[in-house]
Amino acid sequence: MNRRDFSLTTALLGTAGALGGLPAWAQQAKTPPQEGKDYVKLGTPVNLDTPPGKVEVLEFFWYSCPHCFTFEPMFANWVKAQPEHVLVRRVPIAFQQSGNFVPQQKLFYALEGMKLLDKLHVAVFGAIQNERRRLTSDEAVFEWVKTQSGVDLEEFKKLYGSFSVASAVRRATQLQNDFGVEGVPSLGVAGKYYTDGTMSSSLPRALEVVDYLVEQERKRMG
């Protein structure tokens, strides 16, 4: 889903390939992913403050995006399979600085600050995509949080409105702009590369492209 409400077709989701042995791109493709076709190299690298020896992968997403919801289990399985040198970060986007986007960014970072993302990240998707909750205002977010067992609502509200969450939201939007994100879900690699399901022809293929780019960065680091 992008700024112009473009919808990916279900064909973009494709079928994930086997993950054993060679990287998926090597198993399924006769040629490596091609710059300008399967991914783009950013004109200006983005400083991610990644620890030495790590390759950072960013997933740009929006909880209200049905394609992001469908992609989430696929991406979660991919994350679990990554070696130690791969650092993964999810980045909630905001195509507008009001309305649907910012409350969900704040929700994400408040849950992260409370160390509840592992428990509730998928639940937020489910609330919006399955239960048809909008979660597009502070009040709607608080009402949903109130229904979640084990979450202190007052602590959540305090963190939700905190400087640390506001700073994280600004940083997320800056990363989105630096990578030139036009649609979600999409992926950034090493502060240098960007791909998505449209560019690479499917979301499983996008993960193969990321595998390839991560491997190139690992080789470059030595």
Q: What is the pLDDT of residues 156-199, one digit of tens each?
A: 999 999 999 999 999 999 999 999 999 999 999 999 999 999 99
Task: Specify if 102 maps to a domain.
Answer: yes
CA pair distance 94, 149, nearest whole angstrom = 28
pTM equals: 0.88
**Domain assignment of residue 29, yes or no:** no
The answer as to whether 184 is a domain residue is yes
pLDDT, tens only, 87-139 = 999 999 999 876 789 999 999 999 999 999 999 999 999 999 999 999 999 99
133 in any annotated domain: yes
Q: How big is the chain, counted in residues? A: 222
- Total structural domains within the chain: 1
Contact 203, 148 (CB under 8 A): no
Residue 175 and residue 186 in contact, taking contact as beta carbons nearer than 8 Å: no
Q: Is 10 within a domain? A: no
In a domain, 61, yes or no: yes
Question: Does 13 reside within a domain?
Answer: no
How large is the average pLDDT for residues 215-220? 95
99 occurs within a structural domain: yes
194: CATH: 3.40.30.10
Structural domain span for residue 157:
48-221
Q: What residues contact residue 64 under an 8 Å CB cut-off, 6+ apart?
A: 100, 104, 128, 134, 135, 136
- Cβ of 107: how many Cβ atoms within 10 Å? 24
